[in-house]
Structure 1
Amino acid sequence: MSQYFRSAARVFLALIMVTGLSAGAVAQDDGKRLRTEPLTVESSAKTHEFTVEVAVTAPERSRGLMFREEMAADHGMLFIFEQEGDRYFWMKNTPLPLDIIYIDAAGGIVSIAADTTPFSEQTIPSGAPAKYVLELNAGTSAERGIKVGDRVSSASMTGE
């Protein structure tokens, strides 16, 4: 390899290291995890417990579960908004199929978008005002009998 190409390769590698970029980095999880907490869904006299990452800031909510390729069966992500309102989610850059559960300010489930399509840019509306959104692995709602009207609680939702 000529001296020119070796020098160019070193400059390119240095640029990658300085900027923190790597081939495919845009399509991969950056490894940064959010704060986690227990979350409970009360459904037909049965309690379902999950560990959720909590997305509170606009950048955290925007990133959500994008680029994640797997998630433990008893895990999820809870999105918290300042006020209750109509919510619209999508699956852009999200390889995991999800159940998206919209929750009102009092903790009641107002709608469930089950088995969403990975990478879809179609918007998924809440259909009713929601302050919280819970994302679980696709099929979890059906498997556990979670439905509209069930109650959801966590420390972040109750202000603890």
Structure 2
Amino acid sequence: MKRALFTLLFSALAFTAFGQDTPQTNLPRIKLQAGMFQIDTQVAQTPDQRSIGLMFRSEMPQHEGMLFVFEQPATQCFWMKNTLLPLTAAFVADDGTIVNLADMKPQTTESHCSAKPVRFVLEMHQGWFAKKGLKAGSRLSGVAFKP
């Protein structure tokens, strides 16, 4: 059952992004903090916004990322089809705690999932979290997260 839902989700994501070959750049932005580091994030909160994510982007400033916001906590799984940049996904709990991190290779369909149900996923350039000394258990702060 879980695998069938997973396959259905990927099929829906692929269908939604079909024909879309330009990056989405008009998303709302918020500031997040990771200790002393500030992150300028675009927020993908609708199903269409989340399905496109960072696809088709050839560049992104180092201090920027994308925060995916889901309605309910669930096991969130991401892949990199049509995504040109190597990214790290931080799966984040409601209070801003990083549950787990996953390095993701560009233009692959390999699935990267949260270790437990979460509502937030923050994608940054691959290695950004490691360079800042952030890992599972580290906490992000900002308006998206409950104290």
Shorter-chain TM-score bucket reads: 0.7 to 0.9
CA displacement 1:128-159 (0-9 Å, x = unmatched):
11110000011101111111001112223349
Q: C-alpha distance in 2, partners of 1:81/1:26? A: 22
CA displacement 1:107-134 (0-9 Å, x = unmatched):
11000002x1000101111121111000
Contact 2:68 2:121 in 1 (8 A): yes
1:74 aligns with 63
Q: C-alpha distance in 1, partners of 2:116/2:37? A: 23
Is residue 2:104 matched to residue 1:110?
Answer: no
2:83 aligns with 94
Q: How many residues align?
A: 129
Gapped regions of structure 1 (runs ≥ 5): 1-24
Per the normalisation by structure 2, the TM-score is: 0.82
Q: Percent of aligned pairs with the same residue?
A: 36
1:154 aligns with 142
Q: Larger helix proportion, structure 1 or 2?
A: 1
Is residue 2:29 matched to residue 1:40?
Answer: no
Is residue 2:121 matched to residue 1:128?
Answer: no
Per the normalisation by structure 1, the TM-score is: 0.75
Q: C-alpha distance in 1, partners of 2:113/2:130? A: 19
RMSD after superposition? 1.7
Bigger radius of gyration among the two: 1
